[in-house]
Amino acid sequence: MFSHFCLSIMALITVSGFPSSGKSTRSSQLKAFLDAKLADPDYNGPALTVQIISDDSLNIDRAVYNDSRSEKPARGAIFTAMQREMSPNKILIIDSLNYIKGFRYQMYCAAREAKVRVATLYVVAPPDTCREWNTSRQDGKSYQSETFDNLIQRYEEPSSMVRWDSPLFTVLWEDESVPGEAIWEAITKGNIKPPNSGTLHVAKAPSDALHILEQTTTSMVSSVLAEASNAGGSGGLVTISPSQGIKARVTLPARNVTLSELQRLKRQFVTVHKKAITLGSTERDEHLN
């Protein structure tokens, strides 16, 4: 019997490899394996669907890779389709070149934000074999010779050492099938990584936060200066109330404290917290803690 699953599963499987290395064939093999797994009578998990998003499904012609200006919108179309199709109880297979590590990282971040399990399938074939397969294609989906060589040269190989390519599964051109069982384990039982802190929603500070900061620190300076004068340079722990509802305990140094010194410390404090308020880092730290 299959082990118990959570109520909903989403997974993103990124397929990467040289042009004409067999990525679409491997994607179809993987989809067939997953569909069979889900149709197994012993499967007792949630109802899942498996979908392939590819250049072909989006009608992206291979000619777009002839020029970087046309290639960028094509990647944008793949990314948009991926985001649109991410939904509970769906396994997405992204069948495209995915040869730029920055693009794979972008998809990984989107998956993390959506709390989706991820995996990468690396389809490996020698360049000469890929070139032979490319030239022998009769379906009108081959790459121009110059484009093919350029894509091979620019290809950024996936690595299991980086988080956005992990877990990484490799299938060789000589292999009969994909490592389906291992991928199934990864996308159904693997850890769901939390969203990157940079993608978390950050609450805005109140509109009068900067005014209150300036007003409160000015009162603090006046209160500290008054207590220091009363202490006569003896120092020690004192309690100040710069404004209604605020109390603070301050340890004064055993010497005279000057107004210019306190003003300098106030400016430093205000500068740091102005930046925190503007960028939202104060609220973000509180959220993460």
Residue 130 belongs to domain with CATH number: 3.40.50.300
Are 38 and 113 found together in one domain?
Answer: yes
Backbone angles phi, psi at 44, to 5 degrees: -120, 25
What are the C-alpha distances in Å from 200 to residues 13, 25, 38, 279?
23, 37, 33, 13
Give the Å distances, CA to CA, from 217 to 183, 210, 214, 239, 274.
Answer: 57, 11, 5, 15, 12
- What's the mean pLDDT in 231-242? 79
Angle at 242 between CA 236 and CA 243, to 5 degrees: 150
Q: Does residue 287 fall inside a structural domain?
A: no
Q: Which domain holds residue 220?
A: 208-279
Q: 111 and 31 share a domain?
A: yes
More confident residue, 236 or 170: 170
> What's residue 279's pLDDT?
56
Q: What is the pLDDT of residue 205?
A: 65
Name the domain count of the chain: 2
pLDDT in tens, 6-49: 445 689 999 999 999 999 999 999 999 999 999 999 998 888 99
279: its two tokens: 């960028």
Q: For the chain, what's the residue count?
A: 289
- pTM for the model stands at 0.66
The band of 255, judged by pLDDT with boundaries at 50, 70 and 90, is confident
pLDDT at 69 over 80: yes
Amino acid 54: pLDDT:
97
The predicted structure's pLDDT at residue 275 = 67
pLDDT per residue as tens digits for the range 146-188: 999 999 999 999 999 999 999 999 999 999 999 999 999 999 8
Last residue of a domain, one of 157, 189, 221: 189
Q: CB-based contacts of 27: which residues, under 8 Å, 6+ apart?
A: 15, 52, 54, 93, 95, 121
**pLDDT at res. 203:** 53
Nearest CA-CA partner of 28 in 178, 166, 174: 178
The answer to the question of residue 257 being in a domain is: yes
Mean pLDDT along residues 126-137: 96
Which tens digit of pLDDT belongs to each residue from 177-230? 999 999 999 998 877 766 654 444 445 667 777 788 888 888 888 888 888 888
